[in-house]
Structure 1
Amino acid sequence: MSDLFDEYPMLIFALESLLALFLLIFIVVWTASGKKKQTQKASGKKSDNQQSQP
């Protein structure tokens, strides 16, 4: 494995950048889904309040 990195020294930077990209995408998707769940809960509470008030 170290022979591969000796042959292509920029390979480790490419692997690190791909890892950083996947991590960034994961964080964005995870936080976006959390906000979506929060807004669904908030809209559910609003509809419950509207139904209970005459």
Structure 2
Amino acid sequence: METAMSDLFDEYPMLIFALESLLALFLLVFIVVWTSSGKKKAARAASNEQQTQRKSQ
């Protein structure tokens, strides 16, 4: 198995860069989605808090 990977990278030397760039792209998308969902949750919590304050007055 180890020699097969070595042969693959010897035959296609740019493959490792392509795999690394795909991993970086996936991480970027994951981080953006993660942070944007956190902002939505915080905004939802703030609006719910304002609604409960209005109802209690």
TM range (shorter): over 0.9
Task: Give distance in 2, aligned partners of 1:5 and 1:37.
Answer: 44
1:35 aligned partner: 39
**Structure 1 residues without counterparts, runs of 5 or longer:** none
Task: Give distance in 2, aligned partners of 1:40 and 1:32.
Answer: 12
The answer to whether structure 1 residue 16 and structure 2 residue 20 are counterparts is yes
**Structure 2 residues without counterparts, runs of 5 or longer:** none
TM-score (normalizing by structure 1): 0.95
TM-score (normalizing by structure 2): 0.90
The ranges of structure 1 where at least 4 consecutive aligned residues each deviate by more than 4 angstroms after the TM superposition are: none
Task: Give distance in 1, aligned partners of 2:32 and 2:56.
Answer: 37
2:55 aligned partner: 51
